[in-house]
């Protein structure tokens, strides 16, 4: 029994490591540039560069609508625009600040509601490269009929050890998501929150 247990543990570890190597390769591989124009962009907050990139895509006419999901309750659109160097006043009617999501699963719920309201069929997804596989998994479940186009943000200044730690942590969360285990975990979002979102005004 001891030998069988040791062999099983070795096989499990080998499978995990092989999967992690694949995950790191996936995260670090270049992605195809998005098309010249799509219906919408969603930026999943939680890291540098995500909102800035999404705002620039909207400002340059690459998308019709923008959802910034998981935004903090006190954050204003003008502040986000100032940090990104984008004048948000003429864009405000096309920008939605989603304040419901507190997790990647919540991002999916919030994005699905917004996409339905705005008839989104093609969607650029902006988030960190290491977070993209799990974000796409959640969004595919929530928006099965929407064509998702990943546009990862690759953080600068992260050392190799820290980068591997982030990727290892995210790989575990990705496995929990695709296996369905994460669906059994309690949601981090407050209960009773309406799924309908409203357009932000500068």
Q: 100 in a domain, yes or no?
A: yes
Question: Is residue 199 one of the residues assigned to a domain?
Answer: no
Predicted confidence at residue 202, as pLDDT, reads 39
pLDDT bracket for residue 194 (50, 70, 90): very low
Nearest residue to 113 via CA among 122, 125, 101 = 101
Write down the pLDDT at residue 200: 41
Is the Cβ–Cβ distance between 112 and 143 less than 8 Å?
yes
- Alpha helices (runs of H) in the chain, residue ranges in sequence order: 2-28, 50-59, 77-84, 104-118, 132-142, 160-179
Of 72 and 38, more confident:
38
Range of the domain at 86: 31-184
φ, ψ dihedrals at 124, nearest 5°: -80, 130
pLDDT(149) > 80? yes
Measured distance CA(126)–CA(70) in Å, rounded? 13
For residue 145, the 8-state DSSP code is T
Confidence of residue 7 (pLDDT cuts 50, 70, 90): confident
**Rounded CA separation 86/84 (Å):** 5
- Model pLDDT, residue 157: 64
Per-residue confidence (pLDDT) for residue 147, from 0 to 100? 97
Cβ-count burial 175-194 (b if 16+ within 10 Å, e if not): bebeeeebeeeeeebeeeee
Please report, to the nearest 10 degrees, the dihedral formed by the alpha carbons of residues 156, 147, 180, 14 taken in order: -50
User: How far apart are alpha carbons 49 and 155 in whole angstroms?
Assistant: 8
Q: Is 19 within a domain? A: no
Count of the separate structural domains present in the chain = 1
CA–centroid distance for 158 within its chain: 19
- Whether 140 shows a pLDDT value over 60: the answer reads yes
DSSP per-residue codes, 89-106 = GGGGGGEEEE-S-SSHHH
Task: Give a yes or no: residue 90 inside a domain.
Answer: yes
Give me the mean pLDDT over the 63-83 stretch.
92
5: in domain? no
Q: What CATH number should be reported for the domain holding residue 48?
A: 3.40.50.620
The answer to whether residue 88 scores a pLDDT higher than 90 is yes
Cα–Cα distance list, 188 to 58, 70, 133, 185, 191 (Å): 29, 12, 20, 9, 9
CA-wise closest residue to 51 among 157, 147, 127: 127
Does the pLDDT of residue 154 top 90, yes or no? no
User: What is the pLDDT averaged over residues 195-199?
Assistant: 46
């Amino acid at each position: 029994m001891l030998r069988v247990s040791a062999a099983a543990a070795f096989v499990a570890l080998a499978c995990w490591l092989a999967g992690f190597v694949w995950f790191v390769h996936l995260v670090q591989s270049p992605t195809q540039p998005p098309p010249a124009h799509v219906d919408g962009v969603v930026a999943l907050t939680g890291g540098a560069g995500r909102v800035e990139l999404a705002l620039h895509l909207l400002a340059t006419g690459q998308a019709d609508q923008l959802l910034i999901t998981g935004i903090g309750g006190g954050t204003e659109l003008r502040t986000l625009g100032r940090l990104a160097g984008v004048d948000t006043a003429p864009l405000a009617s096309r920008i939605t600040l989603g304040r419901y999501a507190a997790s990647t699963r919540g991002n999916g719920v919030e994005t699905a509601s917004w996409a339905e309201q705005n008839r989104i069929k093609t969607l650029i997804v902006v988030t960190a490269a290491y977070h993209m596989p799990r974000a796409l998994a959640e969004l595919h479940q929530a928006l099965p009929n929407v064509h998702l186009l990943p546009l990862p943000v690759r953080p600068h200044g992260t050392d190799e050890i820290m980068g591997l730690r982030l990727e290892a942590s995210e790989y575990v969360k990705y496995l929990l998501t695709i296996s369905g285990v994460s669906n059994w975990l309690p949601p981090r979002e407050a209960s009773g929150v309406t799924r309908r979102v409203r357009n932000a005004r500068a």
